[in-house]
A and B are shown apart, each in its own frame.
Chain A
């Protein structure tokens, strides 16, 4: 069946480090792909999305590319800041009208 696997955390990085959070999926069709972020004390917010193969979503310096050949949607940022500390969720929509969330990756950035 359709499923999503997300890199486990927690992840701790120094400010200005490069970030990658891996996300892979298994699907019978072609899902839309989303990254959501949950800042401390706040609700889930959409960070970026991609709806078809080779699309690149980007927002706030974060990027992720829809890779059909590797069924992946890895989240990257070239230089993280303390304010990026949050929990990040990969969430495909497998065409069944709802999002399926990964387990989440807690990111902590140290000054």
Chain B
């Protein structure tokens, strides 16, 4: 088991461009989460999936953001028409269903919008 992997690790893009990030969760996990972390802050919840169903989206997730998990395995997070305020670390995590269950995090994708 290689853990949660995210690709790319770093992305620099020009304002107005679209970007897409990928997350591969731990294979037997049915929950997949996306969080965003800005400098000096804790991660903020964006959205989560159970299998292929997207069950909740934060109000932080504007219309420019879309996430998919088409076959209940890997997930993608797309940001359209990027803005400088989108610069952050985007974290993916996976887990089993349940409150007491540990969420395993990937190392994140650091996005810089210039």
Interface residues in chain A, defined as those with a beta carbon under 8 Å from any beta carbon in chain B: 6, 31-32, 34, 36, 42-46, 49, 51, 89, 91, 93, 95, 97-104
Contacts and interface: CB of A to CB of B under 8 A. Distances in A.
Contact of B56 (A32, A97, A103): A97
Question: Interface size for chain B: under 10, 10 to 19, 20 to 34, or 35 or more residues?
Answer: 20 to 34
B105 A95 contact: no
Given A43-B91, A97-B48, A97-B56, A102 B99 contact: no
B107 interface: yes
B107 A95 contact: no
A12 B31 CA distance: 37
Interface of B: 4, 31, 33, 35, 40-45, 48, 55-56, 91, 93, 99-100, 102-108
Given A32-B100, A97-B56, A103-B41, A45 B48 contact: no
Given A43-B105, A44-B91, A103-B42, A98 B48 contact: yes
Contacts of B44: 101
10 contacts: A32-B100, A42-B107, A43-B105, A44-B93, A46-B102, A46-B104, A91-B42, A95-B99, A98-B45, A99-B103
Contacts of B105: 36, 43-45
Contacts of A51: 99-100
A43 B55 contact: no
B100 A104 contact: no
Given A95-B99, A101-B43, 7 more contacts: A31-B99, A44-B43, A93-B99, A93-B100, A99-B43, A102-B42, A103-B40
